[in-house]
Structure formats: structure tokens, C-alpha cells
Amino acid sequence: MDPTPPFTPPNTYFGPPPFKFTPKGGSISGRAFSITFKVLATFIVLALAAAFVQAWLAGRASGASAGGGWFIAGLLLVAYTWWHILRSVTRLDEQGLYQSWVWDKHMELRELAYGKLIRVRGLEWLIAPRLYVRTLMGKFAVFYASSPEMVAEFERLVSELKTFRSQR
């Protein structure tokens, strides 16, 4: 008779249970930034472009000079960010949070440890509410949302996450 007990595979999951959340309707998405913010960003980009054209026509900023090159590089960076502001969309589904941005953001819901909705009440038409989330491993991300439906789901997610993680 063999004195060793039969082999049992090790437990593959160590740690707190995964967080589960289902948005109303299964999935929700909406623009990340408000129309007012997009218009303001557009105005800033156009004003910077006009300032460069005016300086170039006055002969103070030629494309070959160092100052003109740096201005063009800066203007391109601002324009690239502006393009992403116009196109950015936030999505929440049963699997996670997603936002298209300069670099796309993704956070798995099952890994969430903490969430906080940050907003400036009364200025939500300009400053988009944002959801700050952190995982059990300390990774964090910020997701913007300008639609009231998405903000309501963010509030519900934060409330459920707080309740879920405090049940120890």
C-alpha cells in the first residue's frame, strides 16, 4: 500500500472573489467628452493654427527655422489630441470598461478593487465626469463620460463595487 495520498491539483485561484457587474441593457456606450468641450478644443486648435499662419506670413516663423519647426511639432501634437477628443467613446459591458483615446484604455471589471466618480456639479456640460478605477494589483485608469446614462451606470458600478469589496 502506498502511504502518499492521491494527487489533487492545486487551487488555481487565490485571492478575493472577482467583481461582477451587469449594466442595464447588457452594454452601454457614449461619447467621452461633451459637445461644448469639443467646440472649445476645436477653437483652441484653430486659434493656434491661425497664430502660426500669421507668424509665418509675417516672416517670423519659417518652417526651416528651429522655432517654426518646434511650433509645427507642437501644433501637430495638439491636433492629434484634438482628433482623439472628437472621436473618443466610452463603453461599459459585462466584461469591462473601454475608452478609445490616444491610447485605448481597457479595465476588466472582475479585477476592480476601488472606484470613484469624480465630477464638478454644475459644470458637467463642460468638464466631463470621470470614473477613477483601480485593480487589486494597483493598476489604475480614468474613464470619461458625458452622457447622463453612462454617468448613472458609473454611479451604480461604484456603489456595487464598494458594497462588494466591503463584505469581508
Domain residue spans of the chain: 27-165
What does R_g of the chain's alpha carbons equal in angstroms? 23
Tell me: pLDDT of 43 over 70.
yes
In this predicted structure, what is the pLDDT of residue 67? 64
In this predicted structure, what is the pLDDT of residue 168? 58
Label residue 85 by pLDDT band (50, 70, 90): very high
pLDDT, tens digit, for every residue of 129-161?
999 999 999 999 999 999 999 999 999 999 999
Nearest to 109 by CA among 137, 135, 138: 135
Label residue 66 by pLDDT band (50, 70, 90): low
What is the overall mean pLDDT for the chain?
88
Q: How far apart (Å, rounded) are the C-alpha atoms in residues 147 and 88? A: 13
| Range list of β-strands (E), the chain | 27-31, 89-93, 96-99, 105-108, 112-118, 130-135, 140-144
Label residue 72 by pLDDT band (50, 70, 90): confident
User: What is the share, in percent, of the chain residues with pLDDT greater than 90?
Assistant: 65
In this predicted structure, what is the pLDDT of residue 78? 95
Q: How far apart (Å, rounded) are the C-alpha atoms in residues 80 and 124? A: 24
Label residue 70 by pLDDT band (50, 70, 90): confident
Choices 3.30.420.40, 3.40.50.970, 3.30.390.50, 2.30.29.30: CATH for 27-165? 2.30.29.30
In this predicted structure, what is the pLDDT of residue 54? 87
In this predicted structure, what is the pLDDT of residue 7? 61
Q: Kindly report the CA angle at 143 between 72 and 21, in degrees rounded to 5? A: 160
